[in-house]
């Protein structure tokens, strides 16, 4: 079984524990993510996991499950409204149950698969390791929406390495998704893990580099922090251009939050 599956499971369990502390009023409060409520955020995670379960059933099942959502996106409709309509009226407790049940089933099925398995998704097909990492990334990123709403600190662990890796790996995607040429070679990335370990990617280049907290880097590539609100060291025009628009998730081009709009509580590494 892949370690990435256990990392995903732990991430989901941690978010579920946080969500379990919320009042019904909290579930209906707007988060900093596009003013979606907590119900909207968890509903989106649930529907995405439901799409993952369909992908596990094969390409035809995935295509059928996602057809209506694709049509909404193509005509410029609201993904939030689509999810609300699809899932129907839910309170916090029922939404938490829906998400937790599908999430657990997804993790269990991932754990039973051959690591060489490839699965369909909204972009190119992905191997199981990357597919699991993508689900981890989205769970972690949207979890931050809830932490920010509640102004609670977050304890990071080294399981975010896979999120940092997908962030580095999507350097080219960030520009291609916007129809932009690559401004130069991928920057050297040197990050300090929550444990204090050093993680490095790409060839060392002191004139084109990013260095600092792995958690802050993950926040930038998942677009729940503006790079200006971090202590990341960003050197060189290519690195600066990337960090200004970095996007490690599939879908249409999105912009990071404006500087100062999503700073959050002080967080605890380790």
How many whole angstroms separate alpha carbon 38 and alpha carbon 35? Answer: 9
pTM: 0.93
Residues in Cβ contact with 225 at an 8 Å cutoff, skipping those fewer than 6 apart: 216, 219, 256, 257, 262, 263, 264
How many whole angstroms separate alpha carbon 94 and alpha carbon 169? Answer: 36
pLDDT digits (tens, 9 = 90+) for 188-239: 999 999 999 999 999 999 999 999 999 999 999 999 999 999 999 999 999 9
pLDDT digits (tens, 9 = 90+) for 153-172: 999 999 999 999 999 999 99
Average pLDDT of the residues in 45-55: 97
Residue 265: predicted pLDDT: 59
- DSSP state, 269? -
Average pLDDT of the residues in 93-104: 98
Place of tokens 């991928």: 186
How many whole angstroms separate alpha carbon 170 and alpha carbon 201? Answer: 12
Alpha helices for the chain (secondary structure H): 3-19, 24-27, 38-56, 59-74, 79-87, 92-112, 128-150, 161-169, 171-176, 214-221, 237-245
> What percentage of residues in the chain have a pLDDT greater than 70?
97
81: pLDDT strictly greater than 80: yes
Question: Across the chain, what does the average pLDDT equal?
Answer: 94
Q: How many residues does the chain have?
A: 270
Sheet of 209-213, strands arranged across:
198-201, 188-192, 209-213, 233-235
CB-CB contact of 61 with 97 (8 Å): no
Residue 266: predicted pLDDT: 52
Domains of the chain: 3-151 (1.20.120.450), 160-245 (3.30.1050)
CB-CB contact of 148 with 36 (8 Å): no
pLDDT digits (tens, 9 = 90+) for 129-155: 999 999 999 999 999 999 999 999 999
Residue 269: predicted pLDDT: 42
Residue 74: predicted pLDDT: 81
38: pLDDT strictly greater than 90: yes
How many whole angstroms separate alpha carbon 140 and alpha carbon 78? Answer: 23
């Amino acid at each position: 079984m892949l370690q990435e599956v256990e990392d995903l499971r732990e991430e989901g369990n941690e978010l579920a524990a946080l969500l379990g502390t919320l009042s019904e009023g909290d579930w209906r409060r707007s988060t900093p993510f596009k003013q979606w409520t907590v119900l909207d955020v968890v509903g989106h995670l649930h529907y995405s996991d439901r799409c993952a379960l369909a992908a596990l059933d094969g390409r035809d099942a995935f295509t059928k499950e996602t057809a209506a959502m694709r049509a909404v996106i193509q005509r410029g409709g609201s993904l939030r409204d689509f999810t609300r309509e699809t899932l129907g009226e839910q309170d916090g407790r029922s939404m938490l149950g829906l998400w937790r049940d599908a999430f657990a089933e997804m993790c269990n099925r991932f754990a039973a698969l051959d690591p060489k398995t490839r699965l369909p998704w909204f972009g190119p097909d992905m191997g199981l390791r990357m597919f699991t990492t993508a689900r981890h990334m989205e769970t972690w990123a949207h979890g931050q929406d809830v932490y920010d709403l509640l102004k609670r600190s977050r304890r990071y662990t080294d399981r975010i390495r896979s999120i940092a890796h997908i962030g580095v790996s999507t350097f080219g995607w960030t520009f291609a998704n916007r129809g932009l040429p690559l401004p130069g070679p991928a920057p050297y990335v040197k990050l300090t893990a929550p444990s204090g370990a050093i993680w490095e990617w790409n060839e060392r280049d002191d004139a084109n580099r990013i260095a600092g907290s792995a958690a802050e880097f993950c926040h930038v590539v998942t677009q729940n922090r503006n790079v200006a609100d971090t202590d990341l060291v960003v050197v060189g025009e290519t690195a600066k251009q990337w960090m200004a628009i970095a996007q490690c998730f599939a879908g249409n081009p999105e912009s990071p939050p404006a500087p100062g709009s999503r700073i959050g509580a002080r967080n605890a590494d380790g």
